[in-house]
Amino acid sequence: MASRAEQPHLKRCRSATRELHMHATRPARFFRPLMSVAGLAFLAALFVLYVPQARAQFDNTAPLLLAANVDGTSLVLIYSELLNESSTPATSDYTVDIGGTDYTPSSVAVLGAEVALTLSTGAASGDTVTLDYTVGSNPVEDPAGNDAQALTSWSVTNHTGATNDRPVFSSDTITITVDENTPSLTAFGDPVGATDDDTGDTLTYELHSTVVPTFFIDTSTGQISVFGNLDFETTSSYVAPMYVRDSKTPAGGADTLWDDSIKVTISVNDLNEEPTITGAPAPDVDENTTTVGTYTVSDPDTADTHTWSIDS
C-alpha cells in the first residue's frame, strides 16, 4: 500500500482573497445568448432612465428652516439638514426688511446646514427684521436636490445689542477621528462645545438623526460617543450638522429656537484586521498527487497582500 504524504501545516498569513491552487474540472462551454443585442440595449436604456429616479426616492424630504438669526450685518439661516454647498442662491433671491426698509444682501454663502447673508446695512438693537426668499436657478437645496421652500415675511431673531447673548461655535466646521471597531458607548475626541457670554446658561446640543444610529451625543456637553459598529471598509466618514441653543430669547425669555450650528465630520481610522483562512486543516494526500488542497484567505482589508508558507 502506498504511504501517505506528510500532512502540511499552514502558518497564519498576515493579511483580499487568494487561492493556493486552481484547476478546471471540465472544458469551457459556449452558450447561445438568451437576448439579442437590441434587447440588451433596450434594458440598458431603461436602467439609465429609471435607476436615478429610484435612487432619488430614498430622500425626498426638503430641508426646513429651523431658525434665522441676525446680529448687525450678519444674518444666518439654520436648516434641518446639510445643504448642497455647490448651489448658492443669488443675492437677488433675498429681501431683508429692517425696520420697514427693504435691503438686498451683499453676499450669500452656503456651508453645512447654514445660509449666511452679509448685509450692507446692518440691523440695530430693537429693529424688527423679516426675510423674503424666492427659489431661483441655484436654490437652497439638500445634496439629494430637494429644494427648500420660499419664504415670505419670515421673522428673524435680532440679537444685535441683546440682553441675552446666544451661544456660538468657534468655527463653522470640525473634524473628529475615531478608530474602527471602537466599542459601543466609548466617548472620543473633545466635546464639540459652544461658548456663551452669559455665564450660567444651560446649553442643549443635538446631533442630526442621520448619524444617531451610529453615534450619540451628550445633549448637555456636546460630547460624541460611539453607539453602533464602526467599519472603515463599509463607511470611512460621517458628516452631519450639530445644533446648540440656550433656550432663551434675546431679551431673556424662553424659546426653543436653535442659536447656531456646526458641520461635524467624523473620520474613521483604518486598522489592520486579521485575515482568516478556510480549507481542510489536515488533508489526506496520496503519493504522486500534485494538488494538496485549496485554501482561501479572507481579509476585510481588501488592499492587503498576503504571504503564504508551509511548515513541514
Rounded Cα gap, residues 257 and 245, in angstroms: 7
**Mean pLDDT score, 93-103:** 98
Distances (CA, A) of 125 to 94, 176, 213: 22, 37, 42
pLDDT of the residue at 21: 45
Rounded Cα gap, residues 269 and 281, in angstroms: 34
Three-class SS of residue 15?
coil
The CA-based dihedral angle spanning residues 35, 41, 46, 49, taken in that order and rounded to the nearest 10 degrees? 170
**Mean pLDDT score, 267-290:** 77
- Please state the φ and ψ torsions of residue 192, each to the nearest 5 degrees: -90, 80
Domain ranges of the chain: 61-161, 164-274
Whether the per-residue pLDDT at 45 is higher than 90: the answer is no
**Mean pLDDT score, 126-144:** 98
Q: CA gyration radius for the chain?
A: 30
Which pLDDT band holds residue 5 (cuts at 50, 70, 90)? very low
Q: What residues form DSSP beta bridges with 297?
A: 277
**Mean pLDDT score, 60-71:** 98
pLDDT of the residue at 14: 45
Three-class SS of residue 50?
helix
pLDDT of the residue at 281: 72
Whether the per-residue pLDDT at 51 is higher than 80: the answer is no
Neighbours of 254 (CB within 10 A): 7
Percent of the chain exceeding pLDDT 90 equals 67
The answer to whether 23 and 291 are in contact (CB under 8 A) is yes
Rounded Cα gap, residues 276 and 256, in angstroms: 53
Whether the per-residue pLDDT at 113 is higher than 70: the answer is yes
pLDDT of the residue at 39: 57
Which pLDDT band holds residue 164 (cuts at 50, 70, 90)? very high
**Sign of torsion, CA 18 21 25 30?**
positive
Contacts 24+ apart (CB under 8 A), 152-155: 153/97, 154/65, 154/68, 154/130, 155/68, 155/129, 155/130
pLDDT of the residue at 23: 43
pLDDT of the residue at 226: 98
Output the pTM of the full model: 0.74
Unique residue bearing C-alpha cell 500534485: 290
**Sign of torsion, CA 26 31 37 39?**
negative
Whether the per-residue pLDDT at 22 is higher than 50: the answer is no
Q: Which three cell numbers stand for residue 190?
A: 473633545
**Mean pLDDT score, 271-298:** 73
pLDDT of the residue at 24: 41
pLDDT of the residue at 242: 99
Domains 61-161 and 164-274 alike in fold: yes
pLDDT of the residue at 203: 98
Whether the per-residue pLDDT at 44 is higher than 70: the answer is no
Q: Which three cell numbers stand for residue 201?
A: 446658561
Whether the per-residue pLDDT at 55 is higher than 60: the answer is no
CATH T-level assignment (fold) for domain 61-161: Immunoglobulin-like (2.60.40)
Whether the per-residue pLDDT at 19 is higher than 80: the answer is no
Residues contacting 197, CB < 8 A, separation 6+:
165
Whether the per-residue pLDDT at 66 is higher than 80: the answer is yes
- The more confident residue out of 278 and 137 is 137
**Mean pLDDT score, 143-166:** 97
Distances (CA, A) of 186 to 18, 71, 217: 35, 38, 11
How far apart, in Å, do the first and last CA atoms of the chain sit?
A: 23
Whether the per-residue pLDDT at 85 is higher than 80: the answer is yes
pLDDT of the residue at 57: 53
Unique residue bearing C-alpha cell 446680529: 71
Distances (CA, A) of 234 to 22, 54, 123, 192, 268: 30, 22, 48, 25, 10
Provide the mean pLDDT of the chain: 85
Which pLDDT band holds residue 139 (cuts at 50, 70, 90)? very high
Which residue, among 137, 144, 138, has the nearest Cα to 115 in the 3D structure?
138
Q: What is the CATH number of domain 164-274?
A: 2.60.40.60
Which pLDDT band holds residue 296 (cuts at 50, 70, 90)? confident
Q: Using alpha carbons only, what angle is made at residue 215 by residues 213 and 216, rounded to the nearest 5 degrees?
A: 100
Q: Which three cell numbers stand for residue 141?
A: 437645496
Percent of the chain exceeding pLDDT 70 equals 77
pLDDT of the residue at 200: 86
